[in-house]
């Protein structure tokens, strides 16, 4: 025994080797320690992986035929199953001497004596084996092996055992260590197969080692359940989860089991598991938590996609009552988005408002502002977004969008100074491209061209788009800044067709640009013999040339009451709408004219108006 201690003491520096590398070479499981010398570990009532699920386990029919993955004929089983199967040691007597030999291996003479006495009482003719204490080992040697086992250094244990047996061929490791080693070795292979998403491998190992599926190893059962689901055997997985929920003692593991089931099984299957789990009185609080989580998941699915299966009112109403009772703000926000997705704006705003009253949640403020906007309560929506602007980038963006939409309508009302200053301050602080170009068009349509040029220039400097580049060129043209106009055309004309089309504006005063050319055609189209019609046509042309597009449209409307609008004036109307950012109406007009008489002007109009430069600028 001293020599064995000496051998073991040298093991720590020499025994590191990759013994388990075979797991990746497809050769199957290697035999465990002295596998042929041991009986199978006795585990109480493990889950039967081969048993068919009950007929009411789910919607799918129960599997029929042979075992789950391998032939009932052991000789025809897969290599993994063959090598993993533990042969049973033949015994010359029916007396169970395992405990006796274990105590002897531990040099525990007191327990050996008691066990001999117990066996003799039950079997008077039995005599203790003569080689009983031949298996006794050095406690230091065995403790070293247990230490290696506790650290998970299984490869080193195997090498250590081989080295010790070379020094003492009669020595054998403790039976308990052998059993635990073999179980840990097989479990490691199951984990490796599970982590590699090898569902077939996981189930092959589990079938070959049915004693693994017990409450002492819930993690292995979880992995087997996941593999079953991957192999489209949801009913069997549901039965395995049910086994854990109804038989295993650890409440934390039962809670984790139902949570895992929620991630992998449909809601109806999870509800069936929860119903089965209620038979255990100690599952109550865990089930309540899971039931709430399941409800949140169903509500969240609708919030993300309105076409998702609806939440039954019988389930939704009690949940809403509970939320109000406990004032759980996050659940109120979730309900708000649920109703928002269903376009139930009043209900959505109610839940968002409750969440804001209970807690300072930016998501609640964002949802409340959006719901108010959807109901046409723009002033209130803008006020909420401005109040909460510093809590979230999404909310400040929402504030800018609300104001930008208001000031780019076809006939925007003038903003009061405080409101306009507030918008300009937020846009400057956030460098909002959308907000700056909206302010540019607002001032442009109000005739404040220097201010419009300032905002368009800022917008272009932050991020050039076709809309703000076009606005900058037009504002430069209206302020007589020919150098800026030409530079904008040169910088962005090749990139944006609408900007390039403004090149016709850059002509000597006698021919002041595309608008005048179009206008001259309109004026020359005749007044239908009526002097009044001719005067109105000329007035509309002058207004268009001066950038008074709304006035030009009003004059054209007045003229249409006394004479038919010809092609030229129709084109002028289209461009007036275009410059007022009413691109949808402009495109409709250009398409109508192009069908009657296709010209370069109508083709340009159809193309540029159809570019949809900014969805916020669509007309009413």
Q: How many CA atoms lie within 13 A of 325 on its CB side?
A: 6
Residue 519 has pLDDT above 50, yes or no: no
Q: How many CA atoms lie within 13 A of 501 on its CB side?
A: 20
pLDDT value for 291 = 77
**Stronger pLDDT, 399 or 151, i.e. the higher one:** 399
Least Cα distance to 540 among 525, 557, 528 occurs for: 557
What's the CA gap between 492 and 141, in Å, rounded? 83
Residue 388 has pLDDT above 70, yes or no: yes
Beta carbons of 239 and 57 less than 8 angstroms apart: yes
Least Cα distance to 587 among 566, 604, 565 occurs for: 604
Do the domain assignments include residue 44?
yes
Do the domain assignments include residue 567?
yes
Last residue of a domain, one of 211, 228, 247: 247
Last residue of a domain, one of 247, 268, 288: 247
pLDDT value for 505 = 67
Beta carbons of 203 and 70 less than 8 angstroms apart: no
Helix (H, G, I), strand (E, B) or coil at 96: coil
Residue 409 has pLDDT above 80, yes or no: no
Which tokens belong to 110?
């007191």
Do the domain assignments include residue 173?
yes
Do the domain assignments include residue 32?
yes
Last residue of a domain, one of 247, 271, 302: 247
Do the domain assignments include residue 263?
no
Residue 151 has pLDDT above 90, yes or no: no
What's the CA gap between 193 and 141, in Å, rounded? 33
Sign of the alpha-carbon torsion through 419, 424, 430, 434: positive
Do the domain assignments include residue 396?
no
Q: Residues 194-253: pLDDT tens digits?
A: 999 999 999 999 888 888 888 988 999 999 999 999 999 988 988 898 888 888 888 888
Do the domain assignments include residue 338?
no
What's the CA gap between 56 and 112, in Å, rounded? 52
Q: Residues 61-84: pLDDT tens digits?
A: 333 333 322 332 333 333 333 333
Do the domain assignments include residue 204?
yes
Domain extent at residue 140: 1-93+134-247
**Largest Cα–Cα distance of the chain, in whole Å?**
138
Least Cα distance to 263 among 241, 285, 286, 239 occurs for: 241
3-state helix, strand and coil shares in percent for the chain, rounded to the nearest 5? 70, 0, 30
pLDDT value for 346 = 95
CATH of the domain at 537: 1.25.40
Question: What is the number of structural domains in the chain?
Answer: 2
Q: What is the CA radius of gyration of the chain?
A: 42
Q: Residues 338-382: pLDDT tens digits?
A: 999 999 999 999 999 999 999 999 999 999 999 999 999 999 999
């Amino acid at each position: 025994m001293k020599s064995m201690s000496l051998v073991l003491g040298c093991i720590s520096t020499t025994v590191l080797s990759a013994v388990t590398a075979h797991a990746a070479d497809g050769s199957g499981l290697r035999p465990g320690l002295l596998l042929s010398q041991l009986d199978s570990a006795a585990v109480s009532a493990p889950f039967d992986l081969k048993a068919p699920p009950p007929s009411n386990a789910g919607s799918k029919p129960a599997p029929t035929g042979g075992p789950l993955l391998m032939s009932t004929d052991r000789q025809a089983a897969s290599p993994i199953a063959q090598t993993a199967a533990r042969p049973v040691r033949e015994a010359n007597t029916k007396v169970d001497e395992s405990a006796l030999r274990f105590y002897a291996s531990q040099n525990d003479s007191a327990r050996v004596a008691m066990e001999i006495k117990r066996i003799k009482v039950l079997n008077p003719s039995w005599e203790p084996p003569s080689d009983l204490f031949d298996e006794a080992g050095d406690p230091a040697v065995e403790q070293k092996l247990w230490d290696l086992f506790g650290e998970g250094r299984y490869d080193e244990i195997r090498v250590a055992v081989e080295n010790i047996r070379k020094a003492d061929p009669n020595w054998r490791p403790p039976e308990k260590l052998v059993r635990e080693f073999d179980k840990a070795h097989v479990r490691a292979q199951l984990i490796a197969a599970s982590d590699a998403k090898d569902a077939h491998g996981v189930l092959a190992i589990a079938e070959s080692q049915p004693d693994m599926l017990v409450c002492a190893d819930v993690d292995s059962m979880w992995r087997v359940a996941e593999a079953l689901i991957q192999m489209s055997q949801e009913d069997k997985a549901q039965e395995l989860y049910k086994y854990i929920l109804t038989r295993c003692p650890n409440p934390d593991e039962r809670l984790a089991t139902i949570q895992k089931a929620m991630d992998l099984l449909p809601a109806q299957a999870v509800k069936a598991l929860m119903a089965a789990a209620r038979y255990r009185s100690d599952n109550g609080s865990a089930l309540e938590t899971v039931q709430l989580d399941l409800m949140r998941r169903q509500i969240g699915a609708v919030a993300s996609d309105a076409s998702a299966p609806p939440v039954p009112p019988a389930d939704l109403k009690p949940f809403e009552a509970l939320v109000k009772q406990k004032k759980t703000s996050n659940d109120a926000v979730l309900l708000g988005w649920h109703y928002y997705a269903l376009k139930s704006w009043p209900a959505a705003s109610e839940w968002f408002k409750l969440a804001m009253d209970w807690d300072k949640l930016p998501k609640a403020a964002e949802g409340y502002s959006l719901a108010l906007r959807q109901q046409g309560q723009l002033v209130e929506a803008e006020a909420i977004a401005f109040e909460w602007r510093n809590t979230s980038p999404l909310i400040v963006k929402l504030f800018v969008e609300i104001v930008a939409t208001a000031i780019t309508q076809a006939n925007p009302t003038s903003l009061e100074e405080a409101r306009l200053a507030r918008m300009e301050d937020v846009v400057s602080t956030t460098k909002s491209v959308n907000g700056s170009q909206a302010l540019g068009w607002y001032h442009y349509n109000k005739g404040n061209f220097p201010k419009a040029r300032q905002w368009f220039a800022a917008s272009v400097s932050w991020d050039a788009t076709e809309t703000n580049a076009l606005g900058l060129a037009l504002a430069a043209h209206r302020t007589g800044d020919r150098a800026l106009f030409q530079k904008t055309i040169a910088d962005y004309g090749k990139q944006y067709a609408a900007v390039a089309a403004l090149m016709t504006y850059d002509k000597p005063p006698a021919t002041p640009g595309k608008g005048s050319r179009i206008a001259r055609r309109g004026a020359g189209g005749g007044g239908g013999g009526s002097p009044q019609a001719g005067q109105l046509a000329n007035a509309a042309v002058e207004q268009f040339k001066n950038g008074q597009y709304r006035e030009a449209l009003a004059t054209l409307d007045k003229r249409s009451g006394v004479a038919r609008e010809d092609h030229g004036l129709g084109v002028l109307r289209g461009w007036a709408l275009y410059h007022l950012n009413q691109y949808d109406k402009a495109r409709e007009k250009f398409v109508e004219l192009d069908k009657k008489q296709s010209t370069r002007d109508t083709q340009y109009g159809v193309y540029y108006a159809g570019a949809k430069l900014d969805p916020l600028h669509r007309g009413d």
